[in-house]
Amino acid sequence: MESLVCVAVWAVTLAMVMAFTMWAYRWSHPKANGRLPPGSLGLPLLGETLHFFAPNPTCDVSPFVKERLGRYGNIFKTSIVGRSVVVSADPDLNYYVFQQEGKLFESWYPDTFTEIFGRDNVGSLHGFIYKYLKTLVLRLYGQENLKAVLLSETDRACRASLASWASRPVIELKDAISTMIFDLTAKKLISYEPSKSPDNLRKNFVAFIRGLISFPVDIPGTAYHECMQGRKNAMKVLKKMMQERMADTGRQSEDFFDVLIEEMRREKPVMTEAIALDLMFVLLFASFETTALALTLGVKLLAENPRVLQALTEEHEAIVSNRKDKDAGLTWAEYKSMTFTSQVILEIVRLANIVPGIFRKALQDIEFKGYTIPAGWGVMVCPPAVHLNPEIYEDPLAFNPWRWQDKVEITGGTKHFMAFGGGLRFCVGTDLSKVLMATFIHCLVTKYRWRTVKGGNIVRTPGLSFPDGFHVQLFPKS
C-alpha cells in the first residue's frame, strides 16, 4: 500500500513538473505569425521586471536597455509586469508607431500604470473622446492663453519664488521648484491655494510620485503602496471639491475644473465624473513634476558648464538692457526672441529623458524590418536610446546646446527627438513647459548667482530622481 502511495505521489509530482515545464516553454516561446524580434521574456509572469526597475546612477541609457541593444539590436522583445513588450530604439519604428496612432497602434500602458493614473485617464482613452479632452486642455495650455495670461503669471511666480529662496541659507531646488509650479498650476486648474486649504494636496502628490515608477507590489512599506495611497487621498480631495461645485448651481466659472463641470451639465454630456476626476489628477501631476525635474537637472548642468551659462546670461541680459523699464515683466516678444535659450531647453530635455518609455499596443499583427509584432503586444518606444545614440548625436552625454544651432524649430515629435512624445498624442503641455523653463531661466540668470551646497546625484529607476536632493544657495546680483 505504501509503495502505491509513493508511486501516486511521484506520478502527480512528475505531472505537475511536466505541466509547469510546458507552460514555461510556451511562455518563453510564444506563437506568432512570423518572426518575433530577438530577446527574452524572462521568468513566467515576472518576466524581466526586476531588471527593468534596477537603478541607474547616470544620464546614460539604462543598463537594462543598453545591454539588450548590444545583444539584440535596436528592436527586441521582453516582458514587463506580466505583459509581452517589443522595445524599440529604432527611429524608423518609433516614428511609424506614432504616425499610425489609431490605425495600427493605440495608446496603452501596463495594468499597474492604469491603476495608478485611473481607468479613465486620458492616456487610456481613444478616438473622439481623446480629441475632445485634448481640445479642452488646449483652451488652458494652448499658445493663445499662454500669451494672454500664463506668461505674465509665470513670470511673477518665478520672481517671487526666487526672491524668497535667496533669503534662505540653502534650498532643496527640486522641491522648491515643484512647489512653485504646483501652486501656480493648481490655482489655474482648481483655484487651490495651500494657505487657505485644510488639505495638503501637494503632499499627496509627492507620495504618489515616489512610487510612480516602482516595482508594482501593493503592500504597506513599499513605494508602490505609498503611490497608491497618495492617489487615493488626492482623489478624495478632488471628489469632495467636485461634489461641492456640482451642488452650487450659481457658481461662476473660475478655473479649469469649472469648465469640466459645465461640460458634465450639458444635456447630452460626453464628460463623466470618472473622466473629469482622472483628467484633473493627471493634469495636476503632469503640470509640475516633469518640468520641475527638467529644470533641476538644467540648473545642475548650467553650474557644471560655465561656458553655456555665460552665453545664456548674455542673451538674457541683452533682453533686459533693451527694456525701457528694467523691472518690467517678460513679454511674449522677448520670450520668442530667446534663440539660445530654446537650444538650451532642447538640450536639457534631451539629456533629462524624463519619460523612459512611451507605450502603445499593436491592434493587429504588424510586419516591420523583417519582424512581427503580434496583435495585442505592447510596444515601448524608448526615447533615451534615441536621444543618447552616438550615431545621431555626437558625444551624446555632453551638454552642448550649440548642437541645435541653425536646426529647424521642433514643433512636434521627430524620428530623432521625442522628449514630448509624437504623433496625435504629442504632449499638450509642451508649450507651457517651455514657457516655464524659459521664464525661470530668465529670472535666475539675470538676477542671481548660485552655488551647489550638496547633493545633485541622479538615479533612474527607470524614471529620473535626485535621491540626495540638490541643495543650492542663491545670491542676488548687485
- Name the nearest CA neighbour of 338 among 416, 445, 185, 430: 445
Q: Which residues contact 251 (CB under 8 A, 6 or more apart)?
A: 245, 258
Q: Would the annotation count 427 as a binding residue?
A: yes
From residue 425, alpha-carbon distances to 79, 97, 141, 154, 432 in Å are 24, 11, 15, 25, 16
Distance separating alpha carbons of residues 465 and 235, to the nearest angstrom: 24
Omega before 462 within 30 of 0, i.e. cis = yes
Q: Which amino acid is at 69?
A: L
Angstrom distance (rounded) from CA 111 to CA 64: 21
∠ CA 302-305-307, nearest 5°, is 105
Three-state SS string across 259-317, please?
HHHHHHCCCCCCCCHHHHHHHHHHHHHHHHHHHHHHHHHHHHHHHHCHHHHHHHHHHHH
Give φ, ψ of 361 to 5 degrees: -125, 135
Grid cell of 192 as nine digits: 487651490
Binding-site annotation, residues for heme: 427
Binding-site annotation, residues: 427
